[in-house]
Structure 1
Amino acid sequence: MTGIERRGIGGLVEWVNGIVRTIAHPSLTQLVLRLALAVPFWRSGVNKWDGFLQLNDVAIFLFSEEFKLHLPGGPYGFPAPELMAFASASAEIILPTLLVFGFASRLAATGLLVMTLIVQLTVPDGWPLHITWAAMALGIMAWGSGRLSLDYVAEKLWMRRADER
């Protein structure tokens, strides 16, 4: 193989590596994590509402009759099912919205991790999906929301104001 052929292959490898680095850029990865975690919770939350602050009967029924916490000695019904349904449905709208915009992302991811743990206690056989949600939430909690977020913009504005003082 001549030097020209090596540079050609090396150039091709460098070009492919550049594309991979662009596609797998940490900020893009963090955006995809935020969106991927937000979607299932948002969809679940939307299905629990009939209108503004109006839970549907199905949501209340699920927390009253169907959903059980699988704890030792259980399963046990949810305490205060109407309140739990309202809190769950509210969190499933608010927290994914925060994630999509990348605002208070670590807090939102922490909330969704707690919800994931409760869902796991409610549907123990769903662990393959739940562990994926937990991994995404932990990734957001560990690495933040990235540059493609309101968190990043807020941090830059905060730092600029601090520098001006």
Structure 2
Amino acid sequence: MTLSVTPIELRRALPTRLIDGGRRLLARFPVSLTQLALRVALAAPFWRSGLTKWDGFLHLSDSAVYLFSEEFRLHLFGAELAMPAPHLMAFLSACGEIAFPVLLVMGLGTRFAALGLLLMTAIIQLTIPDGWANFHLPWAAMALAILTHGPGRLSLDELVARRFGS
């Protein structure tokens, strides 16, 4: 008894084999590198924004204070409301945009940093509602992935957990 494969069956089998081979290849890719890439990708835009808010150590730039005092408005329930405590909000935003990305890239307090950036993303969404599809949704998705899957092996959190057995 011999089995023969027709050219039509071979053409149908080839895409399936290619897809299965690609899937096996991707399954071998280290998840920890994907988690590191997510952390860096989320950190980068916040870090760049944070750098523009400082004129020196713990000295906010005039433009950051101006934005929070005069330009930024919260869009709530169809109304535009002034930012509460604009100087404090500018300072907290500037601190978060520097500290959270550093923590994310190092993988230290990673879930806390991702939660902080997720909350900042929500406030940014309330301030600039038109940015949802291009910016805020991807940031929120990355933060949620980091929150749920953690920092991965390439992180200080993992090193601390191994060292102290947590």
TM-score normalised according to structure 1 size: 0.85
Instruction: Give me the identity figure in percent.
Output: 55
Partner of 2:140: 134
1:112 and 2:113 correspond: no
Deviations 1:34-66 (A, max 9, x none): 000000000000010011001100000000000
Per-residue deviation, 1:14 = 8.4
Structure 2 unmatched ranges of 5 or more: 6-13
1:154 is matched with which residue: 131, 152, 160?
Answer: 160
Partner of 1:99: 104
1:84 is matched with which residue: 78, 81, 89?
Answer: 89
User: Distance between the aligned counterparts of 2:103 and 2:154, measured in 1?
Assistant: 13
1:43 and 2:48 correspond: yes
Per-residue deviation, 1:21 = 3.0
2:26 is matched with which residue: 20, 23, 33?
Answer: 20
| 3-state SS of 2:76 partner | coil
Across the aligned residues of Structure 1 and Structure 2, the Cα RMSD in angstroms comes to: 2.2
User: Which structure has the larger Rg over C-alpha atoms?
Assistant: 2
| 3-state SS of 1:70 partner | strand
User: Distance between the aligned counterparts of 1:73 and 1:41, measured in 2?
Assistant: 27
- Matched positions, count: 154
Q: Comparing 81-90 with 67-76, which one deviates more in the overlay?
A: 67-76
Per-residue deviation, 1:134 = 0.3
The amino acid across from 1:61 in the alignment is: Y
